[in-house]
Amino acid sequence: MKKDIRFTSANFKEEVLESKIPVLVDFWASWCVPCKMTEPVIEELANELKGKIKIGKLNVDQNPKIASEFNIGGVPTFILFKEGKVVKRETGARSKQQLLEMIKEAGISI
Amino acid sequence: MHNSNCTCWNCPAIDLKGKVDFRACGQSTTEFGKKKDETSEVYIMAECKRRPELGLFDPMSITFEDCPQWQKTPYGYLLKDMRVMILGIDGYLGWTLALWLGSLGCRVSGVDNYNRRKWVKERGSHTVIPISSMTERLHSAKEVLGIEIDFREIDILNEKERLKEFIDEVKPEAIVHYAECPSAPFSMIDVDHAIEVQKNNVLGTLGLLFIMRDVVPETSLLKLGTMGEYGTPLTGRPIFEGMFPADAVLHWDGREWSLGGELTPRDPVSFYHVSKVQDTFNVYEACKYWWLRSYDIMQGVIFGVHTDQVSADPRLRTRLDIDEWFGTIINRFVAQAIVGIPLTLYGRGNQIRGFIALRDAMECMTRLIACPPEPGQYAVVNQISGVYSLRQLAYLVAQIGRKYFDLDVQVQRVENPRVEADEHPFEALYEKLPKNYGFTPKVNIAKEIYRMFELLSKPQIRERIEEKKHLIIPKTWWSGVKREVKRLELLDLKEEVKEDEERYKIYQR
């Protein structure tokens, strides 16, 4: 995983909650096969939407406090944040198209 | 280097410590005690078994590139003196890999119960390239290549305690599991052979998984699967690498779902292939339950005789079987060409398969060993370097035999004793090894076939092929019938050339 899309307990407040642009967080685990298969899509989107929306991943095993705070019960879970607030969440593998739709449905123009 | 950015999260030399309460993985429940910084929000920490002086640290903070224990090799960073255990070290692949890894500086250990030697002997055959006893092999490896191999004769199915003790003693950082029966026809001989293959493969692997859970849960397991697990889907849909990608979407009833991460359908074509599919599920579950980490390696049909190490001395050669049960198709074709038997295509002969040369398979294995999966990760790669129709290969072998070795090589179609599609679409994906692990095939198939002709034409080896040539034409039918297959047609090689050129355009990626 590329370092620039890794969210952790240490940077979550600054990178996600205080971000000036919307943020899509992929809550994942290394034992979760659907999470691993979604990884290339997340990396692609992160590059394509750079500047418009920040996209990154948070490992639930390494950051259980945040996982618990957002009541993550299954992975992958995608949560879309806007101005520090949760505006949309979905659980389960998603195609690139489905993630783009999720972003659009949240009223975020890309 | 393909693994520069891997971190201690991937490294088998760390113990994961900390509080893992997201799921009961059973591995990382060691409490920090007084060592834990109370204000820390990183819950899983690493402790390096090789560099204990580092104390507890964030496992994603050190990359292989930055760690002095990971050293550059032509195949990525490898742990210095990496301890690799090979199960099935006496076999065609096992012995070759032992010497290959030993020459890269790995500390190689291995086990075998000589089942392959016994099975081949039971069928009345022998390896056409002579191999010596394990004692002599070990001695030669030391004398010729300076490689010391720690070997134990252990049956992984029936001597689980001994295997556990050996693994506990060596504490391997990677385990390569080749200790399975690799033959479809052998599993179809009769009920006893079907049961033996399934017991050996499925239960042997299951026992290993429990041992790894208890003794070396952080060690990566490289488990040999086969492309044959997938079958040949007649829809023509791509054969993915084990799991569907996230962009594979199921449309049904006006709705849609991403299939990302679900295992793709398996369609095995013999009781041997069924054993490999069962292994897939056992390994997959063990990764999920216990945080084991594994590569399931869907290897294509293997061929060839050469690596620098096995070619360094006749005493270091790996075995080569040509009988109907253990001879893989290209190896069998070359042997047939040398002793004047028309090369045998089963049925229409238009079966398409993925192939990989022995040397390239060794490189792939090394690149995977160098890049261990993350905790709990079950990963799959399709380990092939090219896709060919069997006709195309028969033609290629015939052409090389005729042109360079002055042999009158013929090709024949015979009845197909198997139950399989002999005319089918085939689009296998094999992108992960090149894209993620930096692998590019080095072996030119025609050159390797040429090299096989050279070696197998030597008088001593030719004589050994002659002795067992009656065991090449199949007599094992999937239906249970026991009789030699009949010839359907002797092919006109001139016409074959044209057809093969067309097929080559279609299937060569």
| Residue in B21, B22, B42, B431 to test binding to A, most A beta-carbons within 10 Å | B22
B105 shares a domain with B49? no
Instruction: Decide if B118 is inside a domain.
Output: yes
B364 shares a domain with B224? yes
Residue B255: how many other CB atoms lie within 10 Å:
7
Tell me, which fold does domain A3-105 have in CATH?
Glutaredoxin (3.40.30)
Residue B346: how many other CB atoms lie within 10 Å:
19
What average pLDDT does this structure show over A82-92? 96
Point out the residue among B42, B246, B284 whose CB comes nearest to the CB of A41.
Answer: B246
CA-CA distance, B477 to B188, in Å (whole number)?
7
* Band of residue B33 on the pLDDT scale cut at 50, 70, 90: very low
ipTM beyond cut 0.85: yes
pLDDT digits (tens, 9 = 90+) for B336-373: 999 999 999 999 999 999 999 999 999 999 999 999 99
Q: Is A67 on the interface with B (CB under 8 A)?
A: yes
Structure tokens at B427: 């689009």
CA-CA distance, B461 to A63, in Å (whole number)?
61
E strand or H helix that includes residue B255: strand B255-258
Q: Is A21 on the interface with B (CB under 8 A)?
A: no
CA of A9, closest CA in chain B: separation in Å? 6
CA-CA distance, A66 to A72, in Å (whole number)?
9
What average pLDDT does this structure show over B460-472? 98
What phi and psi, each to the nearest 5 degrees, are found at residue A54? -95, 130
- Would you say residue B496 has pLDDT above 90? no
E strand or H helix that includes residue B315: none
Ramachandran class of B230: left when φ > 0, alpha when ψ lies in -120 to 50, beta otherwise: alpha
Q: Which residues of A touch B376 (CB under 8 A)?
A: 29-32
Quick one: pLDDT at residue A72? 87
Q: Is A32 on the interface with B (CB under 8 A)?
A: yes
Q: Catalytic: which of B272, B378, B388, B395?
A: B272
Instruction: Decide if B113 is inside a domain.
Output: yes
pLDDT digits (tens, 9 = 90+) for A18-62: 999 999 999 999 989 999 999 999 999 999 999 999 999 999 888
Could you tell me if B236 and B507 are in contact, meaning their C-beta atoms sit under 8 angstroms apart? Answer: no
B359 shares a domain with B278? yes
- Would you say residue B321 has pLDDT above 60? yes
Query: B445-456 vs B329-339: helix axis angle to the nearest 10?
Result: 50
Find the range with the poorest average confidence among B21-25, B267-271, B394-398, B477-481: B21-25
What phi and psi, each to the nearest 5 degrees, are found at residue B251? -105, 130
Q: Catalytic: which of B223, B276, B432, B468?
A: B276
E strand or H helix that includes residue B452: helix B445-456
Point out the residue among B22, B249, B257 whose CB comes nearest to the CB of A64.
Answer: B22
E strand or H helix that includes residue B476: none
What average pLDDT does this structure show over B412-425? 96
Helix (H, G, I), strand (E, B) or coil at B55: coil
- Would you say residue B228 has pLDDT above 50? yes
Q: Do B261 and A32 touch (CB under 8 A)?
A: yes
CA-CA distance, B437 to B443, in Å (whole number)?
17
Domain boundaries, chain A: 3-105
| Residue in A3, A9, A11, A33 to test binding to B, most B beta-carbons within 10 Å | A33
Q: Catalytic: which of A5, A24, A25, A35?
A: A35
Q: Find the CATH number of the domain harbouring B436.
A: 3.40.50.720
* Band of residue B34 on the pLDDT scale cut at 50, 70, 90: very low
Instruction: Decide if B74 is inside a domain.
Output: no
User: Is B307 tagged catalytic?
Assistant: no
Quick one: pLDDT at residue A2? 56
Q: Which residues of A touch B259 (CB under 8 A)?
A: 93
B141 shares a domain with B23? no
Write out the residues of chain B at the interface with chain A, using a CB-CB cutoff of 8 A.
Answer: 5, 9, 19-23, 25, 41-44, 59-60, 243-249, 256-263, 284, 287-288, 291, 373-379
Average model confidence (pLDDT) for chain B? 93
Q: Do A38 and B261 touch (CB under 8 A)?
A: yes
The proportion of chain B whose per-residue pLDDT surpasses 90, expressed as a percent, equals: 89
pLDDT digits (tens, 9 = 90+) for B52-83: 999 999 898 999 999 999 999 999 999 999 99
Could you tell me if B322 and B468 are in contact, meaning their C-beta atoms sit under 8 angstroms apart? Answer: yes
Could you tell me if B345 and B482 are in contact, meaning their C-beta atoms sit under 8 angstroms apart? Answer: no
Higher pLDDT, A103 or B498: A103
B416 shares a domain with B345? yes
Q: How many domains does chain B have?
A: 2
Closest CA to A24 of A50, A59, A52, A56: A56
Find the range with the poorest average confidence among A94-108, B19-33, B162-176, B468-482: B19-33
Quick one: pLDDT at residue B269? 95
pLDDT digits (tens, 9 = 90+) for B248-295: 999 999 999 999 999 999 999 999 999 999 999 999 999 988 889 999
- Would you say residue B36 has pLDDT above 50? no
Instruction: Decide if B72 is inside a domain.
Output: no
B196 shares a domain with B276? yes
CA-CA distance, B246 to A41, in Å (whole number)?
7
- Would you say residue B434 has pLDDT above 50? yes
User: Is A35 tagged catalytic?
Assistant: yes
B51 shares a domain with B95? no
pLDDT digits (tens, 9 = 90+) for B152-208: 999 999 999 999 999 999 999 999 999 999 999 999 999 999 999 999 999 999 999
pLDDT digits (tens, 9 = 90+) for B74-108: 999 999 999 999 999 999 999 999 999 999 999 99
Closest CA to A83 of A11, A10, A17: A17
Find the range with the poorest average confidence among A1-15, B53-67, B115-129: A1-15
Q: Do B260 and A97 touch (CB under 8 A)?
A: no
B113 shares a domain with B40? no
Q: Catalytic: which of A32, A87, A93, A100?
A: A32
Three-state SS across B69-87?
CEEEECCEEEECCCEEEEE
Closest CA to A92 of A32, A24, A47: A32
Point out the residue among B43, B244, B258 whose CB comes nearest to the CB of A98.
Answer: B258
- Would you say residue B305 has pLDDT above 90? yes
Quick one: pLDDT at residue A5? 81
Q: Could you list the residue range(s) of the whole structural domain that residue B166 is in? A: 81-507
CA-CA distance, B437 to B431, in Å (whole number)?
10
Query: B271-290 vs B204-215: helix axis angle to the nearest 10?
Result: 20
B10 shares a domain with B123? no
User: What single DSSP character describes residue B236?
Assistant: -
Looking up tokens 């079958």 gives B231
- Would you say residue B506 has pLDDT above 60? no
B62 shares a domain with B180? no
B163 shares a domain with B36? no
Point out the residue among A29, A31, A93 whose CB comes nearest to the CB of B260.
Answer: A93
Q: In the Cβ-directed half-sphere of B499, how many Cα atoms lie within 13 Å?
A: 16
Instruction: Decide if B466 is inside a domain.
Output: yes
Quick one: pLDDT at residue B464? 98
Quick one: pLDDT at residue B495? 64
What average pLDDT does this structure show over A12-17? 96
Q: Which residue of B has its CA nearest to A66?
A: B41
For Cα atoms B316, B322, B327, give the angle at the middle one, nearest 5 degrees: 95
Q: Do A61 and B43 touch (CB under 8 A)?
A: yes
Point out the residue among B21, B257, B377 whose CB comes nearest to the CB of A30.
Answer: B377
B103 shares a domain with B59? no
For Cα atoms B404, B408, B411, give the angle at the middle one, nearest 5 degrees: 110
